[in-house]
Amino acid sequence: MESPKSDTRPIFSRRSTGSNKSLSLDLSSLPPLVQPTPPTNTLLFTNLNDTSIFRPDNLQTIRDLVLKTAPIHSWAPLKSFRRIVVSFFSEDDAIAVRRVWDGEAVMGERVRVYFGQPTPVEVTDRHLALPDAGKLFFISPPPSPPHGWEMKLEDAPNKMVHADDLAEALAKLHHRPTGVQTPVSPVDGSQQTRSRSSTLLYQPGANGTSPDLPAICLEDMTDEPMEFSPIDNQKTIMAHTSRPPVELMHDA
């Protein structure tokens, strides 16, 4: 009885190819590498989809649990964004809180905690600075007057009603008689007075050479009538439209 021959074929065999070509991968379509957010003193508690988390008693419970890890600088629940923004006094405190809370289940939801923008901890004066000492009287109510300030009495109001040139021009105006009264037949229509004399008050040439300077004249309105053609008072005609056919009314 012959013993079975052992199979001496290799487990892995190379395929003979005419030419060996190196393979290359095209990485141009891959998105750019996103660097992780550096640690800050601000944490964002996200994925708080259950609105009951934002009840005052539940928020106080979460705040007390966070306080067991590190003191809180500011606490801002944002219900509409389903997140809580918490800032701490140092980055190490924020890192320690993130290790405890990231991935924990709150009201059946897995909380995701991320680092946010850094929050300044130093207390700065945010009050509006006073204006310059020379402009303190523009604020209301004004402060006390500076040292050495004395109140001055204001002058009386101007007693001159008209300027001198205007008064002189008014004195030059005179009324011209209309002449001898002659009988005339009555004429229907409205009458309006008409200007018969004028006096120049402002001459542009005496005050400059610009052609855009206006001249001002004062006119004397006399009582001479000026006729207008009468306008017939016509009554407004009310146009009546005919009634549509009954067939159209039923179809509508």
Measured in degrees and rounded to the nearest 5, phi and psi for residue 221 equal -90, 115
Burial (Cβ within 10 Å: 0-12, 13-18, ≥19) of residue 42: buried
pLDDT at 203: 62
pLDDT at 141: 74
Model confidence pTM above 0.95: no
Q: Where are the domains of the chain?
A: 42-109
CATH architecture of 42-109: 2-Layer Sandwich (3.30)
Please state, in angstroms and as integers, the Cα–Cα distance from residue 114 to each residue in 39, 72, 217, following that order. 9, 16, 81
- pLDDT one digit per residue (tens) for the chain, 252 residues: 555 555 555 544 555 555 566 778 887 888 887 777 889 999 999 999 999 999 999 999 999 999 999 999 999 999 999 999 999 999 999 999 999 999 999 988 899 999 999 999 887 888 887 777 667 667 777 777 777 878 788 777 777 666 777 778 777 776 565 555 555 555 454 455 444 566 665 666 665 666 666 767 767 666 555 555 555 556 677 777 777 777 766 655
